[in-house]
Structure 1
């Protein structure tokens, strides 16, 4: 019973868009109790089946505005739901080492092993989508936190472990976001920021904050995205490695673009220019963190073309995108689909619906077997944009072939 009830509670909570903490408060309010005898951790235990609500079930039903029978009904067999960070980490402060630890003593060798695993996950993310990678990513994150909490080590090894937890959280957060698990990704990013700050790695903390800002900008929290992206840039300072500074500025540019308006558009263009200048300062003798291996001139051109597309300046966007795509690695299916999606929209803005439809068809073909919410969302954007040209035969055929999309 516990597992079915937990799944039902989670489903109804997510239907309302509530966090676990919000549900805990609403349950206490429905029960008319003083204080908060039910907290987020207890809701997490109910949802994962570790505990059964029992006497709290009627108050849960009242808070969620559903019948009690609905919460206790058995689940129909379905695809296993994607895991969450709560499934893999303890409910208490996950970065607090256990008192009286009796675990084995570890050295820098274990840190190097974890570093290699994190890098392997990054490389896998280049060719696989979030839906394929979220389970191993969260398992690795749990394992890293468990080692940190239960083992003994020197102060320097502790710092290096925290850095690897931060790096692992960055890629795991990105993977969760790509799988459409945005609330989960935010929790992971915040865990990583905490780890990076404890390790006093301000560059890594800025990278994590910038990743979270990027997600906010893309999920209807544009104002927060601008604020956080700018804070990440400011905190890193002018001494940040060129690649890191270029990436922070890239995210500032995108945040302003998504915020909309003339002033934000101008701020976006300024940030793009500064990103290019920062990257041009990079040289063979400049050391940047290894996880920024993908930040290069081509990546900045992609962001520039996306900004131009979002600002409805197709004459700038189309040549940039075609240039990037002409030399792009076709094995990176998700990125290829995403970049082509921007080209399709830019072509529609340029009043080239026939060519836009051809590119859109390719995006849909690439996205069919790619479990990426980013790609799915871009397909929806393209098809909505092409509705304006529904009278064009090529567009009409595409819309007829993909009505569900």
Structure 2
């Protein structure tokens, strides 16, 4: 008999008490003493759509379930012994119907190679904007860009070659728009956008791009309580792109696999994937890298190494890596810097260094105060939850009071 999933466990415990989802949300607000949670969030937990990292100890208290039992249920969530075929896995992502079918190709304006190049430039501009702006600041203009690109492809008249270039640009645009939507907390919209991007990339014959879009969705699934599905999709994205994909792309895909393994506690598999990521980057030919992989670097891989080590509770490995990278990280990238500081704060806490954890948390809060990102908000909750174990330390108490 398969183990009880996390969602099923809290749903059963809630019903045994005769509580509605709203009542459980109220109880959690009372137990936590400083935050609120909505009925919709409880619904997402029970359906396996998100994992309540900050709320986990409060759920344990409210429902009288040992925390380690909840954590085991999360690790088993959606567990399967199946090894899905990569092509079949990616095919399931294709949206219903064909949203890329040209609408009025015989009557629309002529779309040429320059239009495709202009679109590609706008896509890269949006990527660069995402480096310095957060999801809720960018989500509306990003969606308008995607809608305009779809109109250009569907309503214009173009050659097969230009059409393929437009599809590649749409696939790349869908990846960054999905990423922005996810950062804004719009996970359902992001999933639909990612599916569109996979469809465009595969129709254009760009399997590396399809792998990047699918891998982005896998990363979202891993971070929102669908770890086993995220792992299967991350593997499928890597396998479907194939061994001839550019080294930078393969390094990124291996990192996503590593993170998915770490999220379910599979340490050895996670560290093997990290090794493969570094090997792929070393072997990479710079001129062969797609433009969307511009940010993949040794430092970024080291950050993922540290995140995996932190997730696996190996702070002595994580702390020096993060400190080294963050000492030279671009301060203009406030969201990423705040996120990476959150991992350093947790690693310090795991290393029983609460004063350093508190100092790092204060820096993270200062950076993220005006960052409109669901990711930084969620990581802030995780850090606060971890620091709560050291409330008797004056530096920690001060940070918790400000938070």
TM-score interval (norm. to shorter): 0.7 to 0.9
TM-score (norm 1): 0.76
Q: Deviations over 1:177-232 (max 9, x none)?
A: 11111111110000000000000100000000110000000000000000000001
The DSSP-based 3-state class of the residue aligned with 2:288 is: coil
Which residue number corresponds to residue 223 of structure 1?
A: 228
Larger radius of gyration: 1
RMSD of aligned Cα (Å): 1.9
Alignment match of 2:183 (pick from 175, 178, 181): 178
Structure 1 residue 15, shift from structure 2 partner: 8.8
Query: Aligned in 2, Cα 1:219/1:14: closer, same or farther, shift over 3 Å?
Result: closer
- What is residue 255 of structure 2 aligned with on the other side? 250
Check if 1:282 corresponds to 2:252: no
**Residue in structure 1 matched with residue 315 of structure 2 by the alignment:** 314
* 8 Å contact kept, 2:179–2:216: yes
> 1:370 aligns to what?
371
Which residue in the other structure is 1:273 paired with? 275
Contact 2:105–2:157 under 8 Å retained in 1: no
Match of residue 351 from structure 2: 350
CA contact (8 A) 1:226 1:259 kept: no
- Contiguous gaps of at least 5 residues in structure 1: 1-10, 19-90
| Alpha-carbon distance, 1:13 to partner | 8.7
Secondary structure of 1:169 counterpart = helix
1:64-104 deviation line (CA, Å, top 9, x unaligned):
xxxxxxxxxxxxxxxxxxxxxxxxxxx97421111564111
Q: What is the CA distance between 1:294 and its match in structure 2?
A: 0.5
Return structure 1 stretches of 4+ with deviation > 6 angstroms: 11-15
Q: Please say if residues 247 and 281 of structure 2, whose CA atoms lie closer than 8 Å, have aligned partners that are also in contact.
A: yes
Q: Which has the higher contact order (CA 8 A, sep 6+)?
A: 2
Aligned mates of 1:325, 1:126 — CA distance in 2: 16
- Hey, what's the Cα distance between the residues in 2 that align with 1:341 and 1:216? 20
**Residue 52 of structure 1 corresponds to which residue in structure 2?**
none
Q: Which one of the candidate residues 130, 136, 154 is aligned to 1:131?
A: 136
Name which of 228, 236, 240 aligns with 2:241: 236
| Equivalent position of 2:361 in the other structure | 360
CA distance in 2, matches of 1:333, 1:208: 24
Indicate the residue corresponding to 2:382 in structure 1.
381
Shift of 1:282: 1.7
The answer on 1:324 being equivalent to 2:325 is yes
Q: CA deviation at 1:330?
A: 0.6
Q: What is the TM-score of this pair, normalised by structure 2?
A: 0.76
SS in 2 for 1:381: helix
SS in structure 1 of the partner of residue 322 of structure 2: helix
Rounded Cα–Cα distance in structure 2 between residues aligned with 1:99 and 1:363: 51
Determine the C-alpha separation between the residues in 2 that align with 1:187 and 1:249.
Answer: 24
Partners of 1:217 and 1:259 within 8 A in 2: no
What's 1:294 paired with? 295
Q: How does 1:2-401 map to 2 (within 5 A)?
A: 93-99=98-104, 101-260=106-265, 264-284=266-286, 286-401=287-402
CA drift at 1:401:
1.8
